[in-house]
Every structure is written in C-alpha cells, then in structure tokens.
Amino acid sequence: MQLLSGLVKTTVPNYLSGLPIPDTFGGWFRLGFKDWLSLVPPTAAVAGVVYMSYLAFCPEARPKPSQKANNKIRLEEAKVVDMIDIEDIAEKAAFCRCWKSNNWPYCDGSHGAHNKECGDNLGPVVVQRKKN
C-alpha cells in the first residue's frame, strides 16, 4: 500500500510537473523534438483511459459479434437444406447443430471446442431407429 501511496503522492506529481507544457498557445509551436517526445507517454495514457471509458459507457460503440450462426458451410447458398432418409441410418446418427462440423451435416464433436471457448452448451441432434 505504501508503494501506491508514494506513487500517487510523490512520483506522479513530480513527473507531471516536469512535463514541458507551455503557458500560452504560441508556446506549443516553440517546443523542440525532445519536448514533444516527452509528451507522448502521458498523452497515450490519457487517450487510453478516455477510449476505455468510452467503450464502458457507450455500449453501442462496442464491436458487435457476428449474428450469423453458419460461418463455414456452403455460404454461397441462400438456405442450406439437407434431406436424409431414415432408412439410410443404421442404428443412430448424430447431426450437427453448431455449424462447426467438418463432416456436416453429421456431428464430428466440433461443438466441444466451441462450448469451452464460449461457455455454451451446444450438442448434436441424435436420431435413432425405434427398436422393435
């Protein structure tokens, strides 16, 4: 705690008082290269704080996640539709619902990585023959 206290009470004020900030508007034009260079770090810090505050208090400024569920499978088609006859299924088949499978429309377990990354709970649709 003493480190933080010393930083706020002594180090930062001493650093800020040593910056070459002119008293007049015309003084900005008389600053040398080294003076401008010494103003870069505090300017970047202030810009970062302003930007982070802007993102925190203006939710519409945040980048929007992709609204598309399918970012991979037959993107050139207006609608992806597959017909699978029940007779073609041996015992059971797992069908992909996450659009991440490399063996689409069948599930290959790709939803596992998606679920870990996003905290989601996607899983396949399993179609099974009725046992007589």
Do residues 57 and 65 touch, judged by C-beta distance below 8 A?
A: no
Question: 130 or 49: which carries more pLDDT confidence?
Answer: 49
Q: To which H or E segment does residue 47 belong?
A: helix 33-57
Per-residue pLDDT tens for 74-104? 889 888 888 877 776 778 888 888 888 888 8
Q: How far is CA 30 from the centre of its chain?
A: 43
- 73: number of Cβ within 10 Å: 16
Please check whether the domain covering 66-131 is classified as CATH 3.20.20.70.
no
pLDDT digits 0-9 by tens, 23-59: 999 999 999 999 999 999 999 999 999 999 988 888 7
**Unique residue bearing structure tokens 């008082």:** 17
Q: What is the DSSP letter of 46?
A: H
Domain with CATH 3.40.5.90 in the chain: 66-131
pTM for this model (two decimals):
0.44
* Positions marked catalytic: 79
